[in-house]
Every structure is written in structure tokens, then in C-alpha cells.
Structure 1
């Protein structure tokens, strides 16, 4: 069971103190998300009403509903655990590698204006690069498994789109056999500088194709030719981190990074009503990762937070290679058989009440007043249903 301290301030408090910022959001999607976060776990989203059945107690408890939005710092913990458990049943006892594909900052304005198209292109270019190197007999000669996670933020809430990839140290050959990655002279599975060149080429080709098709329209006044020439002339950053220690280290990483939001509430130090500012902690990676403090005007804090809200329905975690969705479990089962390893255990449905108990030590039926398991659900209030009835 994990224990959690109460944050000094929250994103929700900032938003509730500045309703006009929410109303004037850049798009309907951003406005909707900010509105949900503002109302998370308040009476506006409804509640479950419990009453203690003990005659000596009779305590009444309101359990306010969460917004369940994936951008909300308060929500998603239990959903994250379910996702991680599913991935645990798909990992193999091999080495895993971690690589990050970033976009040059010169593309920021173009990406902001065409997020759905260019986030997808970022996924495509990075995964195709890894798969191309995997197919090459010089490097692996097999199809690796890849888990890709989109992040769009830096530590200071700046706009910094990049993809974190977890890549298996081995793959499935064209003959359906498992092939282990051999020891090489590179820190990563494949040479990083060579990957950077291929990645740049694949992204730029996709970018030009979208422009030629009229799907991507540059901002007025942008010198597209100069932009493209400049992007081709610079090195694109592909950063290979030290390989994971094994499947357990991958699981720990997934727990920290896959369902992260732009900023957690625990990083917020405080809100100044007098100065209308928000202060938060960040790691300065340019200064050996030292913890530092930044203070922004509340309006600027909300603007920076808002630019990391994804397009509606956009999938931020994707899988490729032998981990791609179609036939994934069959392929993994076949590999386990080839490696003479036991099959992974089947999925087990864990009740929500059990997950609450395991993670937070919360017993839904325990009365906070008398301490007995005597709470009984008497009402579920959904405000939108009441509005429909009226």
C-alpha cells in the first residue's frame, strides 16, 4: 500500500481561481478538459452517498466523482495500474533498451497548429526508424517489440514534443524464430547517429508529403523553403539511455512515465493570490539535474499547461513490431514456447474496491466515524441525469 501526502497547491486550484482563462481557452477541446479538471471531485460532477447502518452512528458520507480525464493530475492512477498489469503479461525475460526521439524546436509552431497530424508523424517516423534498423541483418535481423509514449512537455512546462521508446533486445525473424540481440560497440541496440539521420529523413519526407497534399498548411508568413533547408542541415536529437536492467525495471519505468501529465500537483509549491503567480519545482537538466524553483504568472502557467492537452481521442501510447495489437498475444505465446519458458498467466479482473484497498488503504464500506464496515450506498447522484429529467 502506498501513502500520499497532501500537495501544497493543485492545478485545480489555479484553474478555479481563474475561470475566465478556462472560458477563453484556445479550443473547445482545451476548454472542455480544463473545465473537467476544475470540477474534479466536487459536487458539480455528482457523488455517491453512503450512510452508516449502525444505529449508534448514522454517519453520512459523500464520495464526489472524479473527472477521469487523462490530463488531470488527480486521476488515472488505477487505470494506469490496469494498463501496466496488462503489459507485464507481454514482457519477455530479455534486455530492454530506452531511446528518446525529439523534434527540433523550429517545428513547434507548425506542430501546435497540426497536432493530430504531426504527433502521428512523430510516432510513425520514430517507430519506422527502429523497425528498419531491426530488420537489417547487420544490427539484429528481426522484428523487435516497441512501446512508444508521447510526451510534449519539458520540466518548465515548455513545449517539447518527444517520444520515449522501450525496445526489446531481440526480435522475431521472418521464419518466426526468436533472435537475441548480439553484443555490439554501441550503447544502444543500434548506432544512434545513424538512427538520427534516418529518423530525420522519414519525418521530413512525411512532412513534405502532408504539405504537398494540402493537409498541412503552414502559418502565414512562414518561409517553408528556409524551414525545410534549416531542418535538413541540423542534427536531430535521438537520445539513447542506458538499457533497463530487465523486465522488472521496465515495469517500474512504465509506472512512472506512461500515464504522466504535464505537471503533478506535488511539484506545485504554492499560489500567491496577491501577486497572482504560481511557483513550482523543476529539474534543471542543463545543471546536472538540480532541483530549482520557477514562478510564473497564473495566466502563463495555465497557458503552458493547456498546450499539453492532446487532441480528443488521440492515442498517446502505441505499440509496434511484435507488440503491435493484431495477434500480439499469439506471437508472445509462440516466443515463450520457442524459449521453453512458461506461458504468462491469464488476465484477472480485479474489482475496483480491491484496487482502492491495495493502493490507498481505502475500504469503501468502512465508516470514517465509527470505524466499522457499516457504510451502505443509498444514492448515486449524476447531475447531467437530473438535468435530462428536468
Structure 2
């Protein structure tokens, strides 16, 4: 049987990580892998997570299965974090999933089950796993223009011009905040315009919300999503706790669907349960229970919010610092967009050849499209990094 298998193309980011690990140079810098890092280059366990885990260890009295939809209190609290009070609770159905990736997969399968003819439209560029999963599931897909490489911002006019070709029932995949890989986000006014389009065109929005709290703050990062949720009859939402709770390896996420009525929501909920049973039966409990404990306890939630805000502010300072150093190193303002982007990533606009030169000459590892992880920047080495970028860019 296995002799018929063909080699799978390597994941470029995993391949980059392996190259970094094999590099013998002591002065090397990993800006590729998308995990948050503190000033010491470590991915810490958040204080509130530690406290909640201790409480869980002391009080949990069973390791029996959770429900087929997972911890419904977790799903409810995470949905409120993302949606606020924008949608009546009886129109919301949700399922706990193994990470945000698991949520996206469940939602894509729900789309395929409910409307096999639907085309999913995603931004060019987007997170590489979006098109990969769409292709694997055989779901029709198309791209819309999004990023203006010349300005480092959103090419909103081009985006809206492309979306005109969407048909009723098609699905519009949007990044809720902190666009990956570009770091360029829609403004609230643009969210409103996209919402008007979605309603008039009869298309279904699908929001990938992986970085809430990493951009402009928990509330601001969800403002566009909430505006849209309040206006549309249906919406799909994949939520991840990997970044804002630091629970990468625990795989914590939720697939949430907003239906037009409570009756339709009950049917959607049953289908989410069916998909969970087919794909993994019961989701893992530990990380979701930790998040539920944090969000339901005022003291833990306040400490989590404070640490998350500190992380966000630190990344913003690194952005501004790198933008200033690049201005000095290049004697131009062409990299100022780095300071205006939000979230963990920015795309520098370097060519693949320049990215290779950064790696070979300076030991600086970035993804081939020149996406860098802002959280991986060295606070004390921004000038040196800017000089290296200027060297390969000139």
C-alpha cells in the first residue's frame, strides 16, 4: 500500500526551524516561527495559566471524557470574549476544538456539508494552512487582493473590486485582527464597508480570530468582528487560545457558528457535534478548562489581561524601535509601515533572494516571503538587525 505514496512537500516554516537549529553560529536569530517570545527568547507560561493549572490539579477528580462538544462553559466564555453581546446567545452554536487549526478544519467541513458548491475566498496572502486545508478537503476556493507591497498597507480598493465577483452562498474568509502574514489590518470603517457588502451580496463571513489582544487590545481587536456579527444573519468564527493564553502545545480553540434563528442554531450545533465525533470524538480537556477557570474568575482574568497587555505593549515597542532603526539605516521612510502594523508579524517586502542573503550572511532566519515574527526581535539588537536588512535591501 505505502509504495503508492508520493513525498509530501515540506512545510516551509518547519523546514526553516530545522535549518535554524542546524546552524552552528552562536549569533543567529529566528524570526520565522510564529510563537510569542519574551525578552529572553523564551515562550513563557502566563501567570494566570500557572495559577489556574494549580487549582485544576488540586480540584479535578476525574479524567473521564468531556462532552462531544467539549467544555460548553469554555465555549460560552470564549464566544463572549470574541463576540461580546453582539449576538443573542440562542443564535450561537459552538464546539471546543484541538486548537484554532482544528476549529478551522471543523468549520470547513461544516461548509462542505451544508453547501458543497460554495467557494471560499481568502486573502492574497494568507496563512498557508488556509489554502492547504481547502485543497485537501476539495473545497472550491479563490483569492482576493489584500496587501499593497509598495505601501505595506491594505489595498482595500483592490480587495473590494475582487469581492464583487462573489456569489450568494460563497464564504468570505477574513482575519479578525493581526493579519498573518502581513500585519496590515482593516480599519473599523473598512470592516463596516465589508459588512455592508456581505449583507447585500448574501455571502457568509468566516473569521479566523487567532490573535485577539495582540493588536490594539482585547476590545479593539474584536470591534470589527462584533460589528459584522451584529449585522449578518450567519457567520462562522474560528478562535484560538494559542497566542493570547500562550497555550500552544495544549491545542485550545473553538469553532463557533452564528445562525439566523435559534431553531437553525440547534441544527448547526447537532452538525458540529457530528463532525467532532467523526474527526476526534472528544476534544482534550486540560487547556480549555484552564481558560474557563481564568475567564470565570475575576482575579485570574484581571491578571491574565494585565500580562497580555504587557505582551502587546512590548511588541508594539519593538515595532516602533525597528521602524526607527530601519529609517536610520536606510535613510528613508520606506519601512515605516512596520511601526503601524499590528500583531506578531510584518512582511518586509524583501525578495526571496534577499531573504536567503539575510540567512546566509547574517544568520537571520525569516520566512521566504520576508515575514518576520515581531515577538522574536532582540530589543538590544534592533540596530544590528536594521543594518543587515538595509545591507541586503540596497
Q: When the two structures are superposed, what TM-score results if normalisation uses the length of structure 1?
A: 0.27
Higher strand residue share: 1
Larger Rg computed on CA atoms? 1
